[in-house]
């Protein structure tokens, strides 16, 4: 059944913002009406590349357009609240990149604004669309794993990310950037609520390079039902790695065990003496992305695209997104607790 396209906008068109542009431009139910970014040169380039009719450096101007019904907010994490609340108050549905915010108060304000204005607000936890993670979730739900017991999750980046890819890394942390995905997967796979965290962090490598953010966090997570997870997030892996990230998971239940490798699965390997590999500082071996945000015959795909298209489908066909604002708020509360624990050197309890 066909339907009229709905107008969408994207606020923040940098590295991941471009993924939103690709997703919306590929969708038969989305009309990408406008984009916004403070970087005028980048904004003009994206407008030309994707044929977007309208571009502005002021998000308020984009939100004032009546032909836009929904927006993606893909600004740095600490800038989400102002834009998202304004979007909700303008009557726009909002897809917000993770983490939802960097304080619980800001996250709750966004959730409250969505509720008060009757709009949809979805946090882009796109690993819920990751085929490997979804496959594990199905196995757990179908009882194949028995009762979930313990999980180890490693999601790390090379030092390229905080020193070159993200200009704002010094005002964020690897926990905000990667831990948001990690803790969402812990709660989603266990189907449970985090009650207590204990985290250890160190600041040596990045500080010496002039980036004022911790190198890594190692976190023990306890869940209400008795499950335990160990989460590793770091930003200092060598750029000689064949991927920009290392993403692995071990899940142990009372009746089953699962292992997931989302980074060195080796579906495709490249070897070259030429400096042709993106996100790498030297020639060598690369494992190109075949899962997150891909391009096959000019059509974008991958689970990073699927979550965005899910949001678009929910807006156009008036469905409820699979990620709720409340889940986003609880995720922020857990991330805040991780930072607090690492600073104090003590476990931190989360409020019920």
CA distances from 108 to 100, 114, 326 (A): 9, 10, 8
More confident residue, 332 or 271: 332
Beta-carbon contacts of 45 under 8 Å, excluding residues fewer than 6 positions away, are: none
Query: Are residues 151 and 244 both part of a single domain?
Result: yes
- pLDDT tens-place string over residues 171-189: 999 999 999 999 999 999 9
For residue 280, is pLDDT > 60?
no
Q: What is the pLDDT of residue 271?
A: 56
264 near 181, Cβ under 8 Å?
Answer: no
- Give residue-wise pLDDT tens across range 59-114: 999 999 999 999 999 999 999 999 999 999 999 999 999 999 999 999 999 999 99
| Same domain membership, residue 146 and residue 117 | no
71 and 190 housed in the same domain? no
Question: Considering the domain boundaries, does residue 327 fall inside one?
Answer: no
Looking at the whole model, is its pTM more than 0.85? yes
Count of structural domains, the chain: 2
Q: Are residues 156 and 193 in the same domain?
A: yes
Q: Is 295 inside a domain boundary?
A: no
DSSP of 44-86: HHHHHHHT-SEEES-HHHHHT-TT--EEEE-S-GGGHHHHHHH
Pair 66, 173 in one domain: no
User: Domain limits at 145?
Assistant: 128-290+332-349
Q: Do the beta carbons of residue 153 and residue 231 sit within 8 Å?
A: yes
pLDDT for res 283 = 56
Report pLDDT digits (tens) over 112-156. 999 999 999 999 999 999 999 999 999 999 999 999 999 999 999
Q: Does residue 159 share a domain with residue 52?
A: no
CATH number at 32 reads 3.40.50.720
Q: Is residue 13 part of a domain?
A: yes
- Shared domain for 150 and 277, answered yes or no, is yes
Are 138 and 81 in the same domain? no
* 326 in a structural domain: no
What is the rounded average pLDDT for all residues in the chain?
Answer: 93
270 shares its domain with 228: yes
Which phi and psi (to 5°) does residue 20 adopt? -65, -40
| Whether residues 49 and 170 fall in one domain | no
Residue 286 has pLDDT above 80, yes or no: no
Is residue 1 in a domain? Answer: no
Same domain? For 82 and 153 the reply is no
My answer on whether 132 and 119 are in the same domain is no
Instruction: Check whether 1 has a pLDDT greater than 50.
Output: no
- Which tops the pLDDT comparison, 266 or 189? 189
Q: What is the CATH number of the domain that holds 152?
A: 3.30.360.10
Question: So what's the pLDDT on residue 287?
Answer: 76
Report pLDDT for 270: 55
d(CA 90, CA 77): 21
Q: Are 228 and 221 a contacting pair, CB within 8 Å?
A: yes
pLDDT reported for residue 288: 75
């Amino acid at each position: 059944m066909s339907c009229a396209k709905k107008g969408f906008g994207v606020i923040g068109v940098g590295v991941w913002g471009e993924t939103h542009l690709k997703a919306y431009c590929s969708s038969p139910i989305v009309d990408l009406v406008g984009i916004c970014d403070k970087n005028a040169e980048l904004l003009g380039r994206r407008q030309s590349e994707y044929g977007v009719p309208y571009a502005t450096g002021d998000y308020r101007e984009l939100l004032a357009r009546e032909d836009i019904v929904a927006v993606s907010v893909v600004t740095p994490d600490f800038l989400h609240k102002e834009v998202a609340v304004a979007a909700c108050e303008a009557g726009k549905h909002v897809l917000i990149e993770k983490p939802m915010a960097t304080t619980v108060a800001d996250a709750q304000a966004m959730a409250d604004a969505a509720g008060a204005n009757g709009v949809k607000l979805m946090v882009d936890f796109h690993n819920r669309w990751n085929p490997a993670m979804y496959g594990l979730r199905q196995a757990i739900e179908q009882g194949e794993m028995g009762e979930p017991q313990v999980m180890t999750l490693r999601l790390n980046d090379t030092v390229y990310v905080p020193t070159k890819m993200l200009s704002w890394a010094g005002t964020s942390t690897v926990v905000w950037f990667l831990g948001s995905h990690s803790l969402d997967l812990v709660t989603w796979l266990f189907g449970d609520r985090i009650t207590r965290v204990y985290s250890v962090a160190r600041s040596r490598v990045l500080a010496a390079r002039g980036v004022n953010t911790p190198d890594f966090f190692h976190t023990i997570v306890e869940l209400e039902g008795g499950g335990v997870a160990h989460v590793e997030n770091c930003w200092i892996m060598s750029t000689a790695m064949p991927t920009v990230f290392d993403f692995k998971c071990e899940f142990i239940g009372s009746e089953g065990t699962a292992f997931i490798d989302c980074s060195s699965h080796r579906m495709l390997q490249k070897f070259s003496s030429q400096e042709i590999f993106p996100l790498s500082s030297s020639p060598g071996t690369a494992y190109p992305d075949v899962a997150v945000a891909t391009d096959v015959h000019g059509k974008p795909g991958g689970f990073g695209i699927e979550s965005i298209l899910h949001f678009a489908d929910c807006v156009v066909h008036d469905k409820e997104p699979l990620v709720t604002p409340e889940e986003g708020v609880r995720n922020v509360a857990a991330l805040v607790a991780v930072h607090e624990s690492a600073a104090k050197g003590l476990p931190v309890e989360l409020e019920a």
